[in-house]
Structure 1
Amino acid sequence: MDTSRLRPLFSLFVCFLALALSIPANAQDKTRYANIQEALFNSGNLSGESGPSNVVWINGGQQYSYTQRNSDTNASEIRSYDPASGEDELIFSTSDFNTPGTDETFQYDSFQWTDDSRFIVFQSNFRPIYRRSGISDYYYYEVESGELNVLVKDAMTAELSPDGSKVGYEREGDLYVYDLDSETETQLTDSGAKNFYNGRFGWVYEEEFGLAQAWSWSHDSQYIAYWQTDERDVKLFMSTDYSGTYPEYVEIPYPKVGADNPKIKIGVVNVESGENEWMDLDLQDGYIPRLYWTARPGTLATVWLNRPQNHLKLHFFDVQSGEGDLIMEEQNENGWIDVFDFFAGINHYFTFPKNLEEFFWVSERDGYNHIYRYDYSGELTNQVTDGEWEVTNIHAINPNSEYIYYTSTEVSPLERHLYSIKFDGSNKQKHTRETGTHSINMDENGTWYIDRYSSVDTPRQVELWSTTGEMVEKLVDNSEVSKYIEQHVYAPKELFTFTTSDGQELDGSIVKPIDFDPSQSYPLLLNIYGGPGAQGVYNSWESSGWVQYLAQQGYVIANVNNRGSGGYGGDFEKIVYKNLGHWEAHDFAETAKYLSSEYEWVDESRIGIRGHSYGGYMSSFSILTHPNVFQVAIVGAPVTDWRLYDTIYTERYMGLLENNEEGYAQSAPTTHAPKLQGKMFIAHSSMDENVHVQNTMQFVKALTDAGKDADLRIYPPGAHGVAYNRESYVLLYKTYTEYLEEHLKNLQ
């Protein structure tokens, strides 16, 4: 497709939109949200289309498959697209199939391809357990014959073998393999029991190390490596939604700070012979957060972290003998070592190409996250990238061309851009061209990529590119978003930078009220999260319906990349080590004071702060430790004492309790409860399996003991998000807004 004519049109569109946003149009003539519900459920008009869904690169990266909803039949379709030829082909449609053995139209939740693209395995009837895991039924579809068959019912996870001949799965704590040709099932392990699993994680490993599947096929389809998890000695957390005459309680093994963790072993089973070998690991009360099959047949790599997660070891194991060698190790006395990024969706800091006896590691050993290249003896070949910026993700490694494709913050911590670089660190090239934050979906060879990006001036754009520099197709331009804001009031996000009183430069964002008048005075709400590694401010399009509704009601809404945020280097992020809360609250208070002193239209006597989860922790901690700055706090599902949270997350950032008792005490909002001066609203669910409602109950008692009052709402059936259906979601945000209206906006 010739894209040369599209670029001028797109540039014209961007210029027009930027001009439209800069003109103080008569907002009285534009449509406003009638109520909270309309704002919450119509924000899609601001975010716009996101382009092809569930993209999977197939046939060696020559095509990608994607899903779409057929507008005529309402069927879910899987299609494939060839970037080179432009050919788009229908692969599968739910309208053509009933669920095997029933008269009901087949539906699925997700799917995966074999490496040779002959089979698709569908996950259907998903019933959630934790954040990432659940029980599902699995079906397999042969593309050539067009046959859909039952694979297994009520399994936790399932995955096709790389050669496409078998499917492995975990069911009721044991591993199985199904041969697609002979249609036979073989059980690989037989020791599964209550709170004892082969190929399955418990809550804490899944939540804090970011994986739901606790097993992995070898590249040659000969072995399955797996975690064996023993939670029988882990103390139980119980919760209920209080329904019925005698409420039923849910029990979850949940290790809290200082308590016993699950016991872990790493096994490897030969899928043909059934022989099992345990890897000779000395955990020393540590963790195995990752394992990788190397390019060397029969060699498994394991990543070990000590319990405080500041000492890492990489071992290679011979899976036939279970014997291993230490390949490399790293220690950080001033912080923790990351193995994944929850907020960026990056699950792996190590990359082991399947046909290259080298590996790559993203480490901040020089102060910033950069790519390091190693041989299989553990010798550092070279540092691939360097500079005062961070590599945030590796998308593809091409052993033939010796190029790595990655995103980084080199342009700005507020943006993400795609680069390529040779293994030896030469020939670095920037591929993304437009200003803003880019999210990349790339084939494994680094030939094609789908680029989703936006900026404060440009709504989300979706483009298909070749790494040779040609835009293959403009997939989504979201011109309908600009049409929408021509007819509706819209408050754009603006970026700012300031320096704190102690000399630290911080990046922030601000949304001004609709009908903004600099001669007027407005309340300010800091809408924050603030947790380690997270980032609240990007150069990206503002599309939150609730933020827009608050702007319509006359609020200034702001956020800041506080110390502890990712993207700014190790010193900036790890200053919070063993001292959670202090620097984050300091920076939130500094942001509020800066805005109210820099702009006369920000009323320093009407400043609120709102957050959920870690943000709930920070909103409560900030109003308590900076009572002269914040008048109102909206607190959602807060941690109020880190001694009540899980081992892996908390000890990573706070260290072991016996080594930092004072730090734990001073980081707890319960400790500072007597300092409350303003108004506080707390929302929590009694069924929150992540941050237990115990946090809120102990906090409320601490407030009560100090003669302090707070407003409390409990949503019993909800999980960590508090709300549990559409009605409760609307009510929650309606209550938030009314609370701000009464206690902040109308504060006398």
Structure 2
Amino acid sequence: MASDKIHTHKRKNSHLFNEQSTSGSSLRTDYDISMDNMELENMGPPGIGRTTSIPNVHSESINSSHIDLENQNLSVPQSEQPLSWDTWYLTRKYGENRRVRTGALLIGALIILYVFITAFMTVSSGKNADNGSTNNGKTGNSPSKVKPEKGFDIEDVMKGNLMIDKKNFHFIDPPYRFHNHDLDPGLYMTTVTNDEGTKFYAKQLFDDEFVKDLGSNKFVYHNNEYTVDTIKISYSLEKLLFATDKIDDYRHSSTANYWIKDTVTNTIRPISPYYDAGVPVRISYAYFSPGYNFIYFVMDNNLYFQDVNGEHAPVKVSSDGSADIMNAKTDWVYEEEVLADDRAIWWAPDDSKFIFARFNDTDVDSYIFPKYTTNQQYNPMTSIKYPTPGRSNPTVELFYYSIGDSMIYNVNMDRQHLDEIILYDGEWIGPENFLFKITDRFSKELHVKTFNTQSVELLNTRDLNVYDFKGWFEKTKDICVIPPNEEKYRHNYGYIDVHHDNDGFNHLFYYDSPQASTGKQLTHGNWEVTGSGVVGFDYETDTIYFTANRYNTFSQNIFGVKLDAKRDDELIALQDPTVKYSYYDYETSSSTRYALMEYLGPSLPFYAVGTFTDILSLKSAKKNAALILTNNERRNKIEGAYELPTTSYKTVKMDDGVEIDYIEIKPASMNPKRKYPLLVNVYGGPGSQTFSAKCGTSLEQAVTSGLDAIVLQIEPRGTGGKGWQFRSWASESLGHWEPRDITEVTKKFIHENSPHIDHERVAIWGWSYGGFTTLKTIEFDKGEIFKYAMAVAPVTNWLFYDSIYTERYMGDVNTNIDKYLESSRVNDIGSFKNVRRFMLLHGTADDNVHIQNTYEFVDRLNVAGIRNYDMHIFPDSDHSIKYHNAQSTVYKKLYYWLEEAFNGRLDDIEH
């Protein structure tokens, strides 16, 4: 629900939710500077869902050591205090309701217990250091230990000791795409922070002497000082859009005060629907139009636009905005599950017109939850429109507005036979044709339509369905617009789309006009286009650059293909295929002359920008060949201070022949005489790709390094990147195959590594969809393999989750209620008696996976008399669990609870 901007409707990492698309067709100039220069890799929870038949991958260990990127010359080097145990144990063992009659008795008991424990730990540590101790599973063989010299734990992670420091860098989009490299100077924005504060600068990659000071991140208006949260910059560098006092609403949406600065006159004015009001007001968002001639914004769910110089009063495009009617702004379910954005407006590339969506939530039911940390005698209530399976969805309409005649038209969406529709995408293919995609309510039939603004005609260009694959449709990759080129006899605007081919793999298709009904397949094979899809289009060479997992499902690399490619062997491999495991992201400038490269693993991340050629080769001998964004001094310090665990990428064949990918994370130094505890980390959402060759320095690595344990990360059937034959296992089967695959993989791993695994210290954990998978695995396994479990913000019944996501996979609740009740909820409460202990964590203000899921599940535990669990509630935290120091608390809670489990200290707590 959540998975990176990872451009699907879900995200694994909550801190990455606002990453921007790297599509070559339109790079958004929206820079969030709140995390100035720092990036914490892989922290934050996964979201619910995201987001070829592959060869048998042999076990290959990847050590986070000194590596040579793509075999080139530039090498990239690697690498609240908890309660004391006795205090924690007494609190857990006796609880607040048991009273000690005198303070002296309590103190005496504590001293005796402390002496006993200290003696026991000393003996246990000496006894178990080499060969462990099972004692029928009642005594842990993972004794408390001193952290290895180059090891790290959760404290190091949460303090940011492994954070990679890098310079701010963002390309600034021109008002139109550059067709020739010579026209593209590689204009970008960066920040510089020193003792005087933070300032914005515009620079060029072509001319390193070009520098324009855009001013400070602080300014004074009417005697009040404001600090910039986000900034957008016009290509002329004459206008800046600021957001201040930003308050997040949901995953993508927020409200803030917005301002426009004229860098020529050095004046700042607030953006407001009230002309010359002179005071800031809270609005939902503000952006430049593509040509920078206008600014547009939404306030109170009504759309406005204004000339960029502010010479005229803002034009109010809609007037019916309300709590139930949203104009050019997504409602909750479209923001979360469909468009993955807070905006629902599309400007023509020449600024002459735009189309926006209007969402009507009048008939959508509300979810209401209280806020607790307000110091009010009665809790204020928060309400969101939240459709659930079988209930009313929002309705959607499209409106066309022409700047020239100030007229607004309702676009006929041609719903055909569909009673209800979902709007999945929109894009201008040139200045006159608007393409959009709609599906039925259950996301099984896709209809692609083009609205021509000159003829005011709507054409249904193509229809797709996934019945043959037992699949579904969802938001995937951005369309890349291909402009005309008369020299190459290309007379019309066309576009590149990413969708499944006849074999069920997501590939590139070229449609040579907006009205084309069939596309030319440009890529083929048992692999998929991944990440943001199209990275850029080189007009001079007619080359499409894109990212894919062609080498293996764990990796992501960049490739090229020509528009006139006729065979798959014409695919251009831009990185060394002999480097088996590597993960890259790219972003290009308008002409693709320049590129930003993000090397994300398996070694420590590395960032650089330069010409496309220099970035791909990274020849350090060439002076100024690339601008290195990574703070290498900091990076080398991390490499020297910490030894990262050893990571291996593996595939195992299930008993029924299906191949499952998983990652094994082991301590850097293994003791062959020792039995290691095992933690299994799961997600498993349909179509998601959670685990990859990206470098990890988060909870799992801290557990491996600090708790001396082995971690497995498993991708069960139904997940993405391997085509529909693998993905479709999830269809109408949420909660069925995930626990079976996870249990079987874990069982096979333990059997193959039995001398080194402590069978009595096996745990599983997950967040969001991973929390659901965790509970379903415990339900299925019944304590045979897994002895401990940790579930954060889990779904426990899919009838409680939102309709668009759930029905996409589970279908119509009215005709498929048996599967909703049998597989997609946690049913067998009795199974939880068989684990030693499990823990539940949830935020009370979770707008995504409502705490109703956990409360209803706990109620059933109570009815069944099951007491072998712990519970941690986070007041007023949402799905990411960050409010009031919650993020630090939740990860430390998971880590230290697991430490107690691995040391056997949870086994004797009364059930």
Instruction: Kindly provide the CA deviation profile for residues 715-739 of structure 1, in whole angstroms up to 9, marking residues without a partner as x.
Output: 121111234132x333323322332
Which residue identity does 2:223 align to in structure 1?
Answer: T
| Residue in 1 that maps onto 2:654 | 500
| Residue in 1 that maps onto 2:770 | 615
Distance 1:545 1:93, change over 3 A: farther
Which residue identity does 2:259 align to in structure 1?
Answer: Y
Give the one of 331, 347, 356 matched to 1:226.
Answer: 356
Give the one of 544, 553, 557 matched to 2:711.
Answer: 557
Distance 1:415 1:514, change over 3 A: closer
Name the CA distance, whole Å, in 1 between partners of 2:632 and 2:887.
Answer: 27
Matches within 5 A, 1:268-287: 268-283=400-415, 284-287=419-422
Of stretches 211-220 and 548-557 in structure 1, the one that deviates more from structure 2 is 548-557
| Residue in 2 that maps onto 1:428 | 571
Kindly indicate whether residue 382 of structure 2 is the aligned counterpart of residue 264 of structure 1. Answer: no
| Residue in 1 that maps onto 2:536 | 396
Name the CA distance, whole Å, in 1 between partners of 2:881 and 2:77.
Answer: 41
Q: Is the 8 A contact 2:733 2:824 kept in 1?
A: no
Runs of 5+ unmatched residues, structure 1: 1-5, 19-25
Of stretches 114-123 and 647-656 in structure 1, the one that deviates more from structure 2 is 114-123
* Identical positions, percent: 22
Name the CA distance, whole Å, in 1 between partners of 2:483 and 2:298.
Answer: 24
Secondary structure in 2 aligned to 1:316?
A: strand
Name the CA distance, whole Å, in 2 between partners of 1:478 and 1:498.
Answer: 38
Q: Quote the offset at 1:78 in angstroms.
A: 3.3
Secondary structure in 2 aligned to 1:302?
A: strand
Secondary structure in 1 aligned to 2:726?
A: helix
Which residue identity does 2:292 align to in structure 1?
Answer: G
Aligned length: 721
| Residue in 2 that maps onto 1:39 | 157
Name the CA distance, whole Å, in 1 between partners of 2:692 and 2:151.
Answer: 26
Q: Is the 8 A contact 1:413 1:568 kept in 2?
A: yes
Name the CA distance, whole Å, in 2 between partners of 1:698 and 1:593.
Answer: 31
| Residue in 1 that maps onto 2:244 | 124
Q: Is the 8 A contact 1:255 1:646 kept in 2?
A: yes
Distance 1:316 1:167, change over 3 A: same
Name the CA distance, whole Å, in 2 between partners of 1:162 and 1:31.
Answer: 50
Distance 1:338 1:109, change over 3 A: farther
Name the CA distance, whole Å, in 1 between partners of 2:498 and 2:584.
Answer: 20
Secondary structure in 2 aligned to 1:659?
A: coil
Give the one of 320, 324, 327 matched to 1:195.
Answer: 324
Name the CA distance, whole Å, in 2 between partners of 1:429 and 1:479.
Answer: 35
Matches within 5 A, 1:27-426: 30=149, 32-33=151-152, 36-42=154-160, 45-58=161-174, 60=178, 61-82=184-205, 84-87=206-209, 89-94=211-216, 98-104=219-225, 106-114=226-234, 117-152=237-272, 153-181=281-309, 182-209=311-338, 210-243=340-373, 244-283=376-415, 284-297=419-432, 299-319=433-453, 323-333=457-467, 334-341=469-476, 346=477, 348=478, 350-353=479-482, 356-366=492-502, 367-374=504-511, 375-392=513-530, 393-425=533-565
| Residue in 2 that maps onto 1:602 | 757
Secondary structure in 1 aligned to 2:335?
A: helix
Give the one of 598, 609, 612 matched to 1:464.
Answer: 609
Instruction: Kindly provide the CA deviation profile for residues 444-496 of structure 1, in whole angstroms up to 9, marking residues without a partner as x.
Output: 3222111111433x211222243345543151374643433433353232323
Q: Quote the offset at 1:144 in angstroms.
A: 4.1
Of stretches 653-662 and 611-620 in structure 1, the one that deviates more from structure 2 is 653-662
Q: Quote the offset at 1:649 in angstroms.
A: 0.8
Name the CA distance, whole Å, in 2 between partners of 1:51 and 1:41.
Answer: 20
Secondary structure in 2 aligned to 1:75?
A: strand
Kindly indicate whether residue 904 of structure 2 is the aligned counterpart of residue 742 of structure 1. Answer: no
Secondary structure in 2 aligned to 1:92?
A: strand
Distance 1:602 1:400, change over 3 A: same
Give the one of 868, 871, 874 matched to 1:712.
Answer: 871
User: What is the TM-score of this pair, normalised by structure 2?
Assistant: 0.75
Name the CA distance, whole Å, in 1 between partners of 2:637 and 2:542.
Answer: 45
| Residue in 2 that maps onto 1:3 | none
| Residue in 2 that maps onto 1:455 | 601
Q: Quote the offset at 1:125 in angstroms.
A: 2.0
Secondary structure in 1 aligned to 2:883?
A: coil
Name the CA distance, whole Å, in 1 between partners of 2:291 and 2:666.
Answer: 56
Q: Is the 8 A contact 1:636 1:684 kept in 2?
A: yes
Matches within 5 A, 1:721-736: 721-726=880-885, 728-736=886-894
Q: Is the 8 A contact 1:624 1:669 kept in 2?
A: no
Name the CA distance, whole Å, in 2 between partners of 1:718 and 1:285.
Answer: 34
Q: Is the 8 A contact 1:451 1:463 kept in 2?
A: yes
Distance 1:454 1:351, change over 3 A: closer
Name the CA distance, whole Å, in 2 between partners of 1:8 and 1:141.
Answer: 42
Name the CA distance, whole Å, in 1 between partners of 2:767 and 2:474.
Answer: 24
Distance 1:451 1:719, change over 3 A: same
Distance 1:9 1:130, change over 3 A: closer
Name the CA distance, whole Å, in 2 between partners of 1:193 and 1:241.
Answer: 23
Q: Is the 8 A contact 1:308 1:336 kept in 2?
A: no
Q: Is the 8 A contact 1:259 1:647 kept in 2?
A: yes
Name the CA distance, whole Å, in 1 between partners of 2:878 and 2:895.
Answer: 21
Q: Quote the offset at 1:239 in angstroms.
A: 0.6
Distance 1:507 1:717, change over 3 A: same
Of stretches 438-447 and 318-327 in structure 1, the one that deviates more from structure 2 is 318-327
Q: Quote the offset at 1:272 in angstroms.
A: 4.0
Secondary structure in 2 aligned to 1:704?
A: helix
Name the CA distance, whole Å, in 2 between partners of 1:12 and 1:159.
Answer: 42
Q: Is the 8 A contact 1:490 1:548 kept in 2?
A: no
Q: Is the 8 A contact 1:279 1:319 kept in 2?
A: no
Name the CA distance, whole Å, in 1 between partners of 2:203 and 2:459.
Answer: 43
| Residue in 2 that maps onto 1:21 | none
Secondary structure in 1 aligned to 2:165?
A: coil
Instruction: Kindly provide the CA deviation profile for residues 487-520 of structure 1, in whole angstroms up to 9, marking residues without a partner as x.
Output: 3353232323322222222322222236521211
Instruction: Kindly provide the CA deviation profile for residues 330-356 of structure 1, in whole angstroms up to 9, marking residues without a partner as x.
Output: 001134444434xxxx5x2x3334665
Q: Quote the offset at 1:31 in angstroms.
A: 5.1
Of stretches 528-537 and 711-720 in structure 1, the one that deviates more from structure 2 is 528-537
RMSD over equivalenced CA pairs, Å: 2.8
Secondary structure in 1 aligned to 2:194?
A: coil
Secondary structure in 1 aligned to 2:761?
A: strand
Which residue identity does 2:820 align to in structure 1?
Answer: Y
Which residue identity does 2:896 align to in structure 1?
Answer: E
User: What is the TM-score of this pair, normalised by structure 1?
Assistant: 0.90
Q: Is the 8 A contact 1:383 1:425 kept in 2?
A: no
Q: Is the 8 A contact 1:56 1:65 kept in 2?
A: yes
| Residue in 2 that maps onto 1:440 | 586
Distance 1:423 1:514, change over 3 A: closer
The structure with the largest alpha-carbon Rg is 2
Higher RCO structure, 1 or 2 (CA under 8 Å, sep 6+): 2
Q: Quote the offset at 1:680 in angstroms.
A: 1.8
Name the CA distance, whole Å, in 1 between partners of 2:668 and 2:69.
Answer: 32
Name the CA distance, whole Å, in 2 between partners of 1:229 and 1:175.
Answer: 13
Secondary structure in 2 aligned to 1:684?
A: strand
Distance 1:9 1:450, change over 3 A: closer
Q: Is the 8 A contact 1:460 1:477 kept in 2?
A: no
Name the CA distance, whole Å, in 2 between partners of 1:108 and 1:477.
Answer: 24
Q: Is the 8 A contact 1:121 1:140 kept in 2?
A: yes
Of stretches 392-401 and 309-318 in structure 1, the one that deviates more from structure 2 is 392-401
Name the CA distance, whole Å, in 1 between partners of 2:674 and 2:763.
Answer: 18
Of stretches 67-76 and 383-392 in structure 1, the one that deviates more from structure 2 is 67-76
Secondary structure in 2 aligned to 1:733?
A: helix
